[in-house]
Amino acid sequence: MISGHPMELMDGDAGHVPLTWISSLLDEVIRKLGDRRVFVLSVLGVQSSGKSTMLNAMFGLQFAVSAGRCTKGAFMQLVKVSKEMKKDFQFDYILVVDTEGLRALELEGTFTLHHDNELATFVVGLGNMTLINIFGENPADMQDVLQIVVQAFMRMKKVKLSPSCVFVHQNVTDIAAAEKNMDGKRRLQEKLDQMAQLAAKEEVSDAECFSDVIAFDVQKDVKYFAQLWEGSPPMAPPNPGYSESVQDLKNFILSKASQSAGVTLSQFKGKIQNLWNALMNENFVFSFKNTLEIAVYRKLEVQYGNWTWALRNNMLTIENELYTRIENGGMYKVELSYLCNEMSKIYEEIKNKMTTYFEDNGDKEMLVQWQGQFERKISQFHDEQMKEVKRKLDEVLLQKAACKKLDDQKTVFENKLLQKGKELAQLLKDKTRDDKELEKQFNSVWGVWVSELTSDVKPIEHINLKDDQFNILEVLGFECKLIFDRMKEEHTYKNIADLKDYSDYVIKHKILGIFPTPSCALPYEEQNLMRSFIDNVEKQSMDKIKDRPVATRGYRSTYLQEMANSVKDQVTEFESMRKYALKKEFTVDLLLYVFHRAESWLSEAHNKFRMNNDALIYVESKKMQYYNIFKSFCRGSSSAVVLGEMICEKLKDSIVEAVCNKTAIDLAGEMRCSFPAFSGNRLNLEKHVLKSLAEKENFDDFITYIRHPRKQVESFIKEEVKKYIFTEHRDKALNILKKNVDDISKEVSQALFASTEEVKTQSGDTNMWVDKFSTLLTKKLTFDTICSQNFSDINNFDFLKEEVEKGLVSIVKEMSNISLDKMKEFRLKPDQILIDQLCRCCWVKCPFCAAVCINTLEDHSPEKHNVPFHRPSGIEGWHTRNTVDLVIDFCTTLVASDRRFYPLHDSQESVPYKQYQSGGERYASWEITPDESKLTYWKWFVCRFQKQLEDHYNLKFQGRGEIPSEWRMFTKQEAIKSLDEMYNP
């Protein structure tokens, strides 16, 4: 008997030692017993599943019995076949291989899961039969282990395994309930077939059910055990039914065993060697993709996207309404508690949907591991949305407060302009009806009116950013000629983030002898570091400048000065960590670049400040409106007609704004639900981006995608939104816009009716009518105060209502021909809404090939970064040290190989690819499956753009990095089609 010898499988390099030790032990057994034939029975169980007790009772063995996972590895014991039974069997011994309890709760973690997967695969591979022991009636706890095993059987071609398996459900409360057991068997069969189909898809196998992979009959190969004790131990007596179940199972196993020739001990020894090598060479434990678990997680990601979109969509509606109220002066403070209350209904609905999804799903046993994480993420998303909207609305409130002085003047200005127009019209009444003459008369006095109204107001000046930039660079100590010369080189500094080579910025004599290339050019790794540095500086600079209150208080040159000082300090720090020096030109160009990036935002923000605070600009903007009022008075129009025209003029602009903002939200929602690229998870979006890149075959776009994936994805979203709205679904977009026009016009009509009826009922005046009308629309439309003091003579409010309704009809008719381009002028834009929704995910790149982590969650800790398909490392510029040979191998092949790599280009110590996670944090945070998967898409890409890639990196696909000839056979259509392997919804 071989007893108590563990096979440790997860001790790093020491993992090979037990194999040698076991081989020596088997040699000793063979010397003592001869090369006897054995039938190998492997046993797997989850946590403390009572399997050791069962085996001891069945075969009279001496496996240690305890709760949970107290031992580690696998234990083997030989059971001799008696002389009486020998005639029925072709072997001399049964070799029982028992394992520790898998998926132990006290040892949760990625490392433990890897250990369990490896142990399960190894032990099942050894057995002629595998007994899968489950504590209870539900196989869910075991299904992830089984899925790993199923996939392993499909892949271990060299081992040529053809085992069978038996399921034992222990601790079943009522084993006599045949109907219940039949239902349990049916559910088990469905689960197993589902796992087999998913694994077959992953492994390109034709298996359609579990029995195609493992010899299995659900009616015969599933057993139910009664509880071991009748009552609660230790005082409870044993259950007689348990012993009967053990005996029945033993007879069943022996019956199956009688049909097997087993293996000799020497063959078993060789089988251990072959299986172990298969595991070690292909590193199965890390490469097994539990396709069922992945599929379930991907579906969960899609649901998460739907839940977050529902929250975002509702919050956008709330934000839009509150923005309108603030602009209309109907709200002076935004509290988080108020936003929380407004969001409470939809938030509760989402939480209920989540609960239903996790608890009623057919895969709920698997989903439970992520439930807490996703519930936290939804809670965080909800809270962050509220805080973000509060921040935005607080800015609007600040803006409103900053404009208070002008707002207070507006009523005065408008009343005076109205009075002056009315007086001039009285003078000219009946003297002329010619529009040109009227316009001439109006223009002759308009300038005088404006000067009179704004005589004590100082205009807000335009800003001259170019002069400020020059002065700031001069203050920083750069020579005038250098500044002039660099400012002329616009194409250089504006594109500094995308330059192919930064060597010209380096003082070359300081790097001689350090870099091996003859030209002393910077190695690609340093080029990449400089590019990343530029990106970081630009982002930090933009974040800093956008924190400044330019829109509320105006531009100050000190904002640029602060930004410039920060950039110069960052360059100094970066240079201190390099083995070379940077020229002044680099710092100047970088400063000009961040200035250039900030220019449009600063100009737009300052212009917004001017428009909201400059009285002269405001008054001038009213010229056409008051000319039209003047004409109406000249033609003898009544006060009701003129006021109606004024109201319609104000309504027109506010209706356009409201309709465009609402249409932006609706179009974003429509595309989020129906447009394939936007309606799934992060991986689905990635697939469509790659497809688009291949269809266009633009190398620069590919490089942008490799260097700045988010930038390229945002560009893709903008382009697809533009196509959807303006080309492919233009009619649908116009129908949405038209519906919003109709909805707003109904709101206005209802407000007209209500305000008119109230004034008539209460015998009110014009002021009352205007106040009521404005209040009813304060949540829907933003418009300036309607000055009514010059229209006190109005007493027929039905006539006023009719005049406004006539104007409203004209507005609706005009809106029916409005261009969808009008949406670009307003606050909410469908492409930006979708970017905010879809790009809130993980953007970490693989350290070897720059493939982007496809997790939909931005912070998906504790799960590591992963991507289903990697790329040839040469795409990211990886090459063999001291050569110009690009690496053609995929990451998934390299991490399964015996090759080594340098974590940094100037590292002195190399790291084995198999231990890539020991190369530093950026390697340790990734899970790269060494399954040798090679997506056709990237093979086509390398061949299609070989010359461009070689020129881009100044390296070659040659030597060990020569492109395999068979890669050149793939077409673009095949490359695009292969993307379906990456994403199978």
- Pairing assessment for the beta strands 37-45 and 129-135 based on DSSP bridges: parallel
How far is residue 51 from each of residues 238, 681, 863, 955, measured CA to CA in Å? 16, 41, 31, 59
User: What's the CA dihedral at 117, 122, 124, 125 to 10 degrees?
Assistant: 130
Reading the block at residue 603, the tokens are 């100009």
Tokens 């092949």, located at residue: 893
- Look at residue 677 in the predicted model and tell me its pLDDT: 94
Q: Give 639-696 as a DSSP string.
A: HHHHHHHHHHHHHHHHHHHHHHHHHHHHHHHHHHHH-GGGSS-HHHHHHHHHHHHHHH
For residues 127 and 402, what is the distance between their CA atoms, to the nearest angstrom? Answer: 79
In this predicted model, what pLDDT tens digit does every residue of 110-123 receive, in sequence order? 455 556 667 777 77
Beta strand segments in 453-583, E: 506-507, 581-582
Of 677, 688, 690, 687, nearest to 940 by C-alpha is 690
> Are the CB atoms for 874 and 949 separated by under 8 Å?
yes
Reading the block at residue 754, the tokens are 């209500």
Q: Is the pTM of this model over 0.85?
A: no
User: What's the CA dihedral at 620, 626, 631, 635 to 10 degrees?
Assistant: -160
Secondary structure of 167-183 in the HEC alphabet?
EEEECCCCCCCHHHHHH
- Pairing assessment for the beta strands 129-135 and 93-99 based on DSSP bridges: unpaired
Reading the block at residue 178, the tokens are 């045949």
- Look at residue 77 in the predicted model and tell me its pLDDT: 84
Helical (H) or strand (E) element with 276: helix 265-282
For residues 152 and 780, what is the distance between their CA atoms, to the nearest angstrom? Answer: 61
Burial class from Cβ neighbours inside 10 Å (0-12, 13-18, 19+) for residue 699 reads middle
- Look at residue 881 in the predicted model and tell me its pLDDT: 84
- Look at residue 260 in the predicted model and tell me its pLDDT: 85
Question: Cis peptide before 862, with omega less than 30 degrees from 0?
Answer: yes
Question: Cis peptide before 523, with omega less than 30 degrees from 0?
Answer: no
Of 61, 79, 34, nearest to 265 by C-alpha is 34
Below-50 pLDDT ranges, the chain: 1-17, 68-70, 110, 157-158, 176-177, 283, 285-288, 509-519
Helical (H) or strand (E) element with 251: helix 240-257
For residues 834 and 309, what is the distance between their CA atoms, to the nearest angstrom? Answer: 9
Quote helix, strand, coil % in the chain, to nearest 5. 65, 5, 30
Q: Which residues pair with 879 in a beta bridge?
A: 886
Tokens 């350290």, located at residue: 847
- Pairing assessment for the beta strands 37-45 and 93-99 based on DSSP bridges: parallel
For residues 951 and 945, what is the distance between their CA atoms, to the nearest angstrom? Answer: 10
Burial class from Cβ neighbours inside 10 Å (0-12, 13-18, 19+) for residue 331 reads buried
Tokens 């395994």, located at residue: 161
> Are the CB atoms for 193 and 210 separated by under 8 Å?
yes
- Look at residue 104 in the predicted model and tell me its pLDDT: 58
Of 696, 736, 739, nearest to 716 by C-alpha is 696
Helical (H) or strand (E) element with 607: helix 584-613
